[in-house]
Structure 1
Amino acid sequence: MHQIADLISIFDSAFYQSQNTRLVKGDDEPIYLPANNTITFNQVVFAHGFYASALHEIAHWLIAGAERRKCEDYGYWYCPDGRDKQKQAEFENVEVKPQAIEWLLSKAAGFEFNVSVDNLNGEQTCRFDFQARVHQHVLILIEQGVNARTHKLLKALSNFYNTPWPLTAQQFNWHHPQELQNAV
């Protein structure tokens, strides 16, 4: 049901002409590449053709402002897998907002969202605590609204996949497993 070619087409229809930006299937690590002398359009490159990777990289692009979109990978640092507890906490702080946007995109596309702590070879943290923070940010975004680019893509995904629109807080029922355990 969720074909990467469809997502590429939806993204390109929404943003290729207006933002000179295309969604590109990469072979390896994801990256954002601004237009240059060789390639005349901006590229949101996602990993290995994975639908979830594409949604995640799109979320980063949707958050980035005009100046950040002029820089490779938006000018941000990335500390690779294998982070210690402090670096992982920093990573998770930075990732709350893009993963909240990714969750919204996933819901609009009717695609299952899974939070990612992206640290398989490093110190582990509680995935559910991080997901609770992401969930809280989803609810804030629904209440306060999203930027115009995000709204445009959410609506396009909802139209294509015939999912409920507009997105509501009730569509994002999620409870920390500890809360459920304490309720029993």
Structure 2
Amino acid sequence: MTERIVTVFDQCFAAPDGLNTRLRGGFEEPYYRPADQGLGFHQIEFTRDYPASALHEAAHWCVAGAERRLLADYGYWYAPDGRSVAQQQEFERVEVKPQALEWIFARACGMRFRVSADNLDAGLGPSERFKGAIWQQVQQYCTQGINPRATLFARSLAVVFECADPLQPSAYRLEDLV
């Protein structure tokens, strides 16, 4: 499954005359490397061969604007596992859009989506407020549209994985979020 996700992404975005971006697995930690870091292309690195990590990191790339895509790891703030309650609230605030896109991408692949609080050491799971915000963002993406990169990737995944159009709001239920 992961190889197919990578193939779809690269078919959509790897062309040098396009966005010149590749999706690659096998890493201990996710990271984004802009082309100026010696590769000659932009590289999205995801954890090991986990399909959810591939989709999540692709979602971050889809959320990042043109200027952010020129910065290592998009210039985003990140505090590692073991965050305080306040840090966890900030994490949830900035993760709504990427996790909403990840849910759409997961649906396009026929995969189950799991909300990530990414804070196992502190024992803080995703809050109900966070889950609600992700669901609301998915509804907004489905009804108002998402950017062309996210749309292309979601619909291309759905074709390859033979899944229904992932941009139908009725396909997403708040009670499905775990």
TM-score by length of 1: 0.90
Give runs of aligned pairs for residues 1-184 of structure 1, distance below 5 A: 3-17=1-15, 18-36=18-36, 38-122=38-122, 124-165=124-165, 167-175=167-175
Which protein shows a greater Rg? Answer: 1
Q: Which runs of 5+ in 1 are unaligned?
A: 178-184
SS in structure 2 of the partner of residue 165 of structure 1: coil
Q: Which runs of 5+ in 2 are unaligned?
A: none
Q: Which amino acid aligns with 1:11?
A: F
For residues 94 and 166 of structure 1, the distance between their equivalents in structure 2, rounded to whole angstroms, comes to 23
**Identity fraction in percent:** 41
Q: Check conservation: 2:131, 2:174, Cα contact below 8 A.
A: no
For residues 48 and 126 of structure 2, the distance between their equivalents in structure 1, rounded to whole angstroms, comes to 27
For residues 105 and 166 of structure 2, the distance between their equivalents in structure 1, rounded to whole angstroms, comes to 12
Q: Which amino acid aligns with 1:152?
A: L
C-alpha distance 155-137 of structure 1, shift in aligned 2 (>3 A):
same
Residue 130 of structure 1 and its aligned partner are, at CA, apart by 1.8
Corresponding residue of 1:182: none
Q: Which amino acid aligns with 1:61?
A: W
1:71-125 deviation digits (Å, cap 9, x = unpaired): 0000111100101110000000000110001001111111110000000112525
SS in structure 1 of the partner of residue 28 of structure 2: coil
SS in structure 2 of the partner of residue 79 of structure 1: coil
SS in structure 1 of the partner of residue 95 of structure 2: helix
For residues 110 and 121 of structure 2, the distance between their equivalents in structure 1, rounded to whole angstroms, comes to 31
For residues 138 and 164 of structure 1, the distance between their equivalents in structure 2, rounded to whole angstroms, comes to 16
For residues 126 and 151 of structure 2, the distance between their equivalents in structure 1, rounded to whole angstroms, comes to 31
